[in-house]
Amino acid sequence: MPAQRPRPSAADGASDPGTSNDKVSALETFRSHPEDGVLTTDQGVPIPHTDDSLKAGERGPSLLEDFHLREKITRFDHERIPERVVHARGSGAHGFFQVYRPLTELTRAAFLQDPAARTPVFVRFSTVQGSRGSFDLARDVRGFATKFYTTEGNFDLVGNNMPVFFIQDGIKFPDVVHAVKPEPDSEMPQAASAHDTFWDFIGLVPETAHHMMWLMSDRGIPRSFATMEGFGIHTFRFVNAEGQWRFVKFHWKPLAGIHSVVWDEAQKINGMDPDYHRRGLWESIEAGSYPEYELGIQVFDEAQADAFPFDILDATKIVPEELVPVERVGRLTLNRNPDNFFAETEQVAFHVGNLVPGIDVTNDPLMQARLFSYLDTQLTRLGGPNFHEIPINRPIAPVHNHQQDGFHRDTINTGKANYFPNSIGGGCPVLAPGDQGYVHVPEMLQGPKTRERAPSFKDFFSQASLFFHSLSLVEQQHLVSALRFELGKVQRATVRERVVNEILANIDIELARAVGPAVGVPNVERRPARDAGPPVDQGLAASAALSQLSNPGQTVAGRQVAVLCADGVDAAAVEQLTAELAAAGVNAEVVSTFLGPVQGAGGGALEATKMFSTVGSVLFDAVYVPGGATSIAALRDGAAAVQFVKEAHAHYKPIAASGEGAELVRAAIGMAAQAEPASAGGDPLAGVVLAETDTATLGQDFLAAIARHRFWERDQTQQMGSSVRP
C-alpha cells in the first residue's frame, strides 16, 4: 500500500481554520502539493467558498441559481445506496494469491498454473444477519468472499466461514433470511438469532440441523477474520485442457489457526469496540502482520462421489477430510487496506457465476439459485447493469462485447457495429477459439419436470451428529451454553419443545438432555422430525478437522498483548520482551491509568497508548505484567489492573509476569506464592508464565503460551463432565 503523505501542519505554513491566513495557506498547500488540487464541483469548476449558500442579502433567502449548493446537497442526499439484504456489514482488503504448483492435470484455469505469478485479489469479510450499523461479535455466519482478478477474467469464490448452508434448495433462501432477520412487527432483535421466528424455522425445517450446530459452536464467534476458515460451500468442477473433469471443494485454511472468543468476551467486546473485527483486520495490515490463508482443495471423481454416504449436491453436507484429504495448493496474502471504504468494500459485487475457464458449476440446487440471485441483487443495489465497470469490480482482462447503454455506463465504445455477427466492424470482437474460451462441461440431462427432493437429501442429522461428536469437550460445553442462551430467549414453549425433541434429540440425546431442562423442556424424548429420512452411517465416528483445538495454526503474527504498568516500571524488561514479541509479529501495547510517557524505574520511559478506562482484557489475546515495585504498588492500589488480569485469567488467556509483577498476577488469580500448581478444580497456573527472577526464557515461554491461545484446563468445569454426559 502506498505510504500516506501526512497533511500539512502549521510548520508547513498551514494555519488554523478561521484565521486571516486561510486563503494564503490554502494556496501554499496547493503549490506544495498540486496533486491535492483545489476544491471544485463535479464538473471541475473551481470553488472559492463553500461555507455559505448564495443568498439575496446576508439574511435573505437562498437562491435557486446556487448550482454549487444544489449539487452538494443533491450528492449528499443520494450518497447512500441500498445495503445488502444479507452480508450488509463488511470489511475488505486487497492482496494477492500464488499457487504452489501447476494444477494442469486438474484444471486449465490460468491463475492455478504458474507459481511465479501473483494474482491480485480483493476479499470481503462480513456478518450475515445484521445491518451495516450492527456490531462485529454477533453470533453469526461470516462471509468470506474472494475476487480473483485473473488474466482470463474475474473468478469469485463466494463462501462463508462454515462449510455448510442452512438449506438445500435456494427456493428456501427468502424463508431462512426472513426467519433470522429482526421480526417484522417490532424490528427486533438486531443481528441476533436468539428469537422465536428463527427457532420456529429451525424446528420445522430439520435440514437446517447441521448448519445450526456450526452456528451454535465457537465458529459463530471467531476471534478475528485472520483466525477463521473459509469454504466455497458448494461442490464445483475442475476441468483440464483435455476436457476431463473432477469434482472439487474449496477451503481457506488460516495460517494463524482457527480461534474464537468466548461468549462473555463477545458480549463485552460489542459494548467496548463494536468494530473489533474490522479494526483488527485494518490494524494488522497497517502493522505489516498480513493475514494469510492457504487455498485447500478436495478433489474426487464421480465414482467416489457415488460411493459417499451423502449427496455431494447437498449444501448441508461436508466431505470429511478423512474421506478426501485437503491438499493445500496456494497462499492468499492480504497486504493492503482499501483507499475508500464505500468505493471498494461497499461497492464490490460478488457473483457465484463469475467463473473462468477450467472451473464449472454443478447441479447443486442452492448453487443454481445463487447463480441467479447474486446478479439480480446487484442490479438493484448498484443502480443498473454496469456495476462491473466500477473500478473495484473491473477485470484486469480486456473486455470486448456488444453490451451497451444502461445506468452509469462508463465505457465509451466506438465504431458502428454493436451486434454479432457483423461485417461492418470487421467481425470484431471475434469468438474465442474453443481451447481458450469458457465451455461448460457437457452432460446428459434427462428427467420429468418435478418439484421433488432426491431421497439422498433426506438425511438431516447424521453429519450434525458427526460435527458434535468431533468437538472437544470444552467446545461441546460452549455449544450447550449457546443453545441454552438462544432457546432461553424464545418465548413460545412449543417452539422450544420442538427444537429440543425433534432436532437436538435426533442429533444426540445427551445434548438434548443437557439443553432441555434449562430451557423449560423437562421431558426430553426423541421424536421424528418433519420430512426426515433415516440416518446414514458416515463411515467415521469423528473428524479431527472439525475441532478448532486441532487447528492451532502456524503463526502468532497479529496477536495483541496488553502490557500493564505505571510509573516506576521495569522499562528494560518491557523493551526486551516486546522486542521478542515484535520479532514474531505480535503487537504489544502499554496500558496504564493515563496516556503518554510512563517513567521507568531506572530511567527511560514507555509510551502508554491505551488506558484502563477505555480498554479491557477482552480486546487482547494475552497480558504481560512487568516488575517494578512502585509500578506494581500503584497498579494494585488502583484495582483496574488486578481486574484486568483476573478477567483475562477467567477467559483462559496466556498471562506473563516478571519481577514484582508475579505478585500482582498471583493476587489476581487467588494463588498464594507457594500454592500447588494443580488442584481438584483444575490448574489455575496453566498458561501463566511467571519469571520472578530469571527472565531469560520469558519471551520464548510466553510466545509458546500465546500460540496455544487458551488454557481450558484452568477450570475443570470446562471439561464438560456431567453437563452433557449425565
Q: How would you label 291-305 residue by residue, b for 16+ Cβ within 10 Å and e otherwise?
A: bbbbbbbbbbeeeeb
Q: Which of 567, 581, 681, 690 is nearest to 629 (CA)?
A: 567
Q: Which of 172, 212, 722, 192 is nearest to 506 (CA)?
A: 212
- Other C-beta atoms closer than 10 Å to the C-beta of 694 total 8
Rounded CA-CA distance 507/501 in Å is: 10
Render 121-165 in DSSP notation, one character per residue: EEEEEEESSS-TTS-TTSS--EEEEEEEEEBTEEEEEEEESSSS-
Rounded CA-CA distance 193/138 in Å is: 9
Which amino acid type is present at position 411?
Answer: T
Q: Residues 316, 166: contact at Cβ < 8 Å?
A: yes
State the catalytic residues: 87, 160
Name the residue with cell 490463508. Answer: 293
Render 47-89 in DSSP notation, one character per residue: -S--SS--BSSTTSPBPTT-HHHHHHHHHHHT---PPPSSS-S
**Cβ contacts of 139 within 8 Å, gap of 6 or more:** 192, 193, 194, 215, 216, 220, 221, 263, 266, 482, 486
Pairing of strands 587-592, 560-564: parallel
Sort residue 147 into left (φ over 0), alpha (ψ -120 to 50) or beta.
beta
Number of residues assigned to the chain: 726
Rounded CA-CA distance 88/138 in Å is: 13
**Cβ contacts of 352 within 8 Å, gap of 6 or more:** 156, 158, 234, 361, 367, 370, 371, 374
Q: How would you label 382-414 residue by residue, b for 16+ Cβ within 10 Å and e otherwise?
A: beebbbbebebbebeeeeeeeeeeeeeeeeeee
Q: Which of 200, 108, 111, 215 is nearest to 154 (CA)?
A: 111
Rounded CA-CA distance 93/392 in Å is: 11
Rounded CA-CA distance 231/297 in Å is: 10
The β-bridge partners of 610 are: 591
End-to-end CA distance of the chain: 56
Pairing of strands 560-564, 622-625: parallel
- Other C-beta atoms closer than 10 Å to the C-beta of 674 total 6
**373 φ, ψ (degrees, to nearest 5):** -65, -40
Burial of 228 (0-12, 13-18, 19+ CB in 10 A): buried
Angle of helix 640-650 versus helix 661-668 axis, rounded to 10: 60
